[in-house]
Structure 1
Amino acid sequence: MNQMTPVFSHGDLRLYLLNLLDEGPRHGYDIMQALSDRTGGTYTPSAGTIYPRLAKLEEEGLVTKTVDGRKTVYAITEAGHAEVQSRAGELEGIEAGLADSVRLIADEVRGSVREAMKSLRADLAAASRDERQSTPQPSREDDPRVRSREQVQRVDALVNEFRANVRGDVRVHVARGGELAASIVDQLATELDRVARDVTRALRG
């Protein structure tokens, strides 16, 4: 699954850092974590990106820093707060762009689940057709129990492959800091329940 990466222009990132500090003092790691969280994991900044910008904001008198034990805590100044207030419209535009990026990631996960379910249903339908259309042969393989055991193995393989694919996609997405909305999991549960009912109906003929 591809990770979408919103592009912060230099000015946008500078303003967004001020906005985060306007909410309250933060240490450097907390700022980087907040950026990742707010963008649904689509933007994970490095220390080499954030600290020079914080130093620049400090030079401009918009931010102060204090050492708290082993952590350096950054806080916004009155001048920094005034800039955030005066550029509220720009911030709304930045927030809207980030929200769009997070929605795209959610759509990718939802699409992956939908495609996996479609593939599973198609494979199960094909297996059912093959079973109905198979021509009896005068051999041990003609034993319905033997054929059924073979199909059970196919079902196991299909379900395990589906499980591995979806878990892999979701775990990678979340590991990258992406958001996994409850609605996506609800959709997965609904689709799985639908497939289970389809299989049950097919078995009952």
Structure 2
Amino acid sequence: MSPAVFSHGDLRLYLLALLAESPQHGYGIIQALTDRTGGTYTPSAGTIYPRLAKLEEDGLVTKTVDGRTTIYAITDAGRAELAAREADLEGIEAGLTDSVRLIANEVRQNVQEAMRSLRADLAAAAREDRSGAPSTSYREASARADERIAGREELRRADALINAFRAQVRTDLRTHVARGETLPAKVVSDLETALDSAAHAVTRALAALRAH
């Protein structure tokens, strides 16, 4: 799964920014996104080409075919939209930096957790081998290992949801302020209340599971 780096609609604007630097073919755009996110985000062709087609339909980019290669270039209308949404782009780039840092940390933590789990499973198997434990013990250990793997997958999914939410809110807030608007304290207080409520709900749900 590609990490949740770009919030809804942000990738479209970022594609315009890439094409404003120089015309590109589809693979070059995908590679540029991979490079700029430190390899943490590599969009599929099914993600990029429909957005390029929509940009072309809107008159913001053009395409020319050179042999087997299709080159995309930004139009004057595309540059005008990019200039009009400069504040939005600044918010996207700030959020992108934060998201990439979070994803890199997540990947590093997942690798460390997987290594710890693997070492624990190997140690358990070695103890069983030395003690001559019955095969049922191995099956139980295997089942527990499967549960841990499934749990890590769900944890990654939860992390992705949290990161996507964080990126969206940060982008919205930064874009709002970058446009010269004020940010009322009530908005931040309401956000704090909502986050506290969500955190308490998760804590209660986990406590209920441990009680069973």
Could you tell me the TM-score, scaled by structure 2's length? 0.48
Question: TM-score if structure 1 supplies the norm length?
Answer: 0.49
